[in-house]
Amino acid sequence: MVIAAILLAADDARIDGTLLPLLPFGDDQTLIEYHIAQLQAAGVEVIEVVAGCDAERIIPLVAQNDVEPIVNERWREGEAGSIRVGATAVPRDTEAAIVIRIDEPRPAEVMRRLLDEHLESGALLTRASHGDSAGAPIVVGRAVLAELRNVADAGGLNATVTRHISEIADVAFVEAIVLFRIEDAAIYARALEQFR
């Protein structure tokens, strides 16, 4: 049974001119390196990093044991293509995969709890929540992973979640960190403080 992750880092979002994956994030690491360290600490065995924009700068940061950088050459067409590329790359015997976006950093404890709850519940999908709000990341099981290999451009991951809304296990977190998304310089500055 393989536990995998699909880290979506293909688009060209930037903060003060710096591509999100390359942002400094903690002691001598970038945001993408933070993600990988946290996923590994959570027990993820195989990490598929989907790069696109400036892939040649990202790949050297992530090419290591159990981390496979893959390039979505058509990243400009939207996230669905990156999801397809990532889902296709994970091993076929993957039991569960965390799907996480580069702008949604999470500590290992959040991802470990989601994985544990997912494997225990047997749900098709498991996601973090805070209050009445759905958060991230999301864990998908084998059947949904197969769907993501053919996900349509129009809906992507959100359409898949909506299609299976009654089969989702929501894991409630007291911390609002599961809603966190780096969208601008002010939020990035808060993230540096919060994740330190």
**d(Cα 88, Cα 131) in Å, to the nearest integer?**
33
**d(Cα 56, Cα 70) in Å, to the nearest integer?**
11
Q: What is the pLDDT of residues 101-150, one digit of tens each?
A: 999 999 999 999 999 999 999 899 999 999 999 999 999 999 999 889 98
Whole-number pLDDT of residue 163: 85
Whole-number pLDDT of residue 57: 92
**d(Cα 108, Cα 171) in Å, to the nearest integer?**
15
Whole-number pLDDT of residue 165: 85
- Shortest CA distance to 51 belongs to which of 14, 11, 105, 110? 11
pTM of the prediction? 0.94
Tally of residues, the chain: 196
CATH number at residue 170: 3.90.550.10
Kindly give the parts of the chain with pLDDT less than 50: none
Write the CA distances from 127 to 104, 133, 149, 189, integer angstroms. 13, 11, 19, 26
Whole-number pLDDT of residue 101: 95
Please state the domain count of the chain: 1
**d(Cα 1, Cα 98) in Å, to the nearest integer?**
14
Domain extent, residue 75, equals 2-194
